[in-house]
Copies of this chain bind each other. A is one copy, B any other.
Amino acid sequence: MTDDSQSKGPPRPATLKDIARALKVDVSTVSKVLSGGGISVRSETRQAIIDEAHRLNYRAHASARNLRTRRTGAMGILLPNLMNPVYASIVRGAVRRAEETGYVMLVADVEDEASTTSVYLRLVSERRVDGLIIAVSARSKEIISVIEDNPIPHVFVNRRASIGRSVTVDDQAAGYLAAKTLVEAGHTRLGFIGDSDDLDTAQRRRAGFLRGCIEAGLPPFLDVVGPYSRKGGYESALKLLDAPERPTGVFASNLLVGIGALAAMRVRKVRVPEDISIITLDAEDAIYASPPLTAIATSLLEMGARAVDEVDAILHGREPQDVVIESPPRLIMRESLGPPPKPPKPSRPSK
């Protein structure tokens, strides 16, 4: 006299017991058919169980399963700012891959070291996730020791860290490609807007850029340091413009920095690309900037997706590796890059 025919979905999701009762078999049999496997069951019984499970739209209660098996089917990602398009891309890549792989993704937008630590501890000690993707820098001794004392499978993404593996794009190659592109357009006085060497991505981009300059036999480029933000890029660009030997070609080694730099040019009435050329990084949508920004695009979505794969690999016992995304940075030619301006002092006038 169960009236949950198919007229209306049951208000309470079905359990193993429901299926077992309906078929007059033991719940353990149902469980073994639906997930375990290591049991011999008559094919009629098996089929009946599968059919009934389907009919009731059965899905295992995640917590119950987790309690027994110690696997949650969840991953977490820790990042500093969802409104930064770089992180938004990484997270999107991760969230989608997680779904494909059968995980759910728990996102935490952490502000500072204290909240990073507390969120980390919470996720780990409440056993909410099987593994973590960490997109905040773990420079501080404190965070590192918290991770070491409360270990959980994890990878860093877009960051290298002394502890655990990492997934990054080839930042060196991006820097190199930027330099090469500027050189090929005829520029000889180059500028680089980066962040402090504390930030390992900035450091690698700078190193790649430097390599490009050296290969071209150019003198040292003008290296300006500021935070990877719109404001940081704006202010860094002003410094470049005020430098005694103003560069004619600039690599803004981060998307936000590129946008900020462009704004600075406009305010100073420096025309792009007539007076100065700009290349930025990761600007899929900078086609809508004014002028559209020439960019070195890296695979941020893929980086996020790959981070999920690596955590999954660790969980399956495979040896984790430091991954550098294979698809190389690629040049997206738009309008902010042009030849260097003609007039300004052939090669240094008198002095």
Contact = CB atoms under 8 A, between A and B. Distances in A.
Contacts of A64: 63, 67
A96 interface: yes
B109 A95 contact: yes
Interface stretch (A42-50, A117-125, A246-254, A323-331): A117-125
Contacts of A95: 82, 107-109
A289 B263 CA distance: 7
B96 A104 contact: no
Interface string A150-187: 11000000000000000000000000000000000000
B230 A288 contact: yes
Interface string A8-19: 110101000000
A126 B71 CA distance: 14
B290 A263 contact: yes
A104 B123 contact: yes
Contacts of A82: 82, 88-89, 91-92, 95
Contacts of A201: none
Number of copies: 2
A13 B288 contact: no
Contact of A57 (B8, B13, B121): B121
A105 B107 CA distance: 6
Interface string A43-82: 0000000000000011111111011000010100000011
Given A91-B107, A262-B290, A291-B266, A122 B59 contact: yes
17 contacts: A57-B125, A59-B126, A61-B126, A62-B128, A63-B63, A74-B106, A82-B89, A82-B95, A83-B85, A83-B92, A99-B108, A104-B108, A230-B285, A262-B290, A263-B287, A263-B288, A263-B289
6 nearest CB pairs, A to B? A9-B149, A63-B63, A290-B290, A59-B125, A63-B66, A82-B92
Interface of A: 8-9, 11, 13, 57-64, 66-67, 72, 74, 81-83, 85, 88-89, 91-92, 95-96, 99, 104-109, 115, 119, 121-128, 149-151, 230, 234, 259-260, 262-263, 266, 285, 287-292
Given A61-B67, A62-B128, 9 more contacts: A9-B149, A59-B122, A59-B126, A82-B92, A99-B108, A106-B107, A230-B285, A262-B290, A263-B292
